[in-house]
Amino acid sequence: MVRASQWFAGLALLAGGFYALARARDLGPALFGSAMVVGGAVVLATRLAPWVAAPFLRFIDGIYLPGGAAGGDPPPNYRLARYYIRSRQLDLAIAEYRKILAYHPSAAEAYIALFDVLANHKGMRAQAARLYRRGLRKVGGRSDRRRLREAYGDGEVAPFELDPDEEVLGGTVKFPKLRS
């Protein structure tokens, strides 16, 4: 946070620099005034940069994020994590699902997929049980809680059906269905 003394110093340098530039008739005072303006801009840049950049960042978010900035967070994307599972890079898949849950703590699909990786692929049933309890607390609706309970069952996580022809890195990928 910028203190009042930084605001005062920055504005004083800017005002003094512009005054010196306006009255300069030689090169020396003009350079001195320019240096004061640059110094004032540097002092104020930490406070003004986020304010100046915010409209531009909202514009970029509106173009590149699904739903735009007004739509909230973009939907979770499971493609990279599923690619890691297919390529047997399970630690990277776990890290990717944990990232998804950090940004989308109520995403039932991420909990179910992480159950599967932890319990069925890595044999970490205790961690899967803790994740299950956390998922029940975090997910929002009844249907999502029911899906978690169905996926977790009696401590056995139902594995996913992975379609071998499914395109993982391109196009729209639907989340896999659970085997019954």
pLDDT digits (tens, 9 = 90+) for 71-117: 555 667 788 888 888 898 999 999 999 988 888 888 888 888 888 88
Bridge partners (DSSP) of residue 178 are 160
pLDDT of the residue at 65: 59
pLDDT one-digit tens code per residue, 39-60: 888 888 877 777 778 887 777 7
Q: Residue 6: what pLDDT?
A: 77
Contact, 152 vs 119, CB < 8 A? no
Distances (CA, A) of 55 to 50, 52, 59, 63: 9, 7, 6, 13
Alpha helices for the chain (secondary structure H): 4-23, 27-64, 79-86, 90-103, 108-115, 125-138, 142-152
Identify the CATH assignment for 75-180 out of 3.90.105.10, 3.40.50.2020, 1.10.8.60, 1.25.40.10.
Answer: 1.25.40.10
Q: What is the pTM of this model?
A: 0.48
Residue 40 has a CB neighbour count (10 Å cut-off) of: 20
Are 76 and 109 a contacting pair, CB within 8 Å? yes
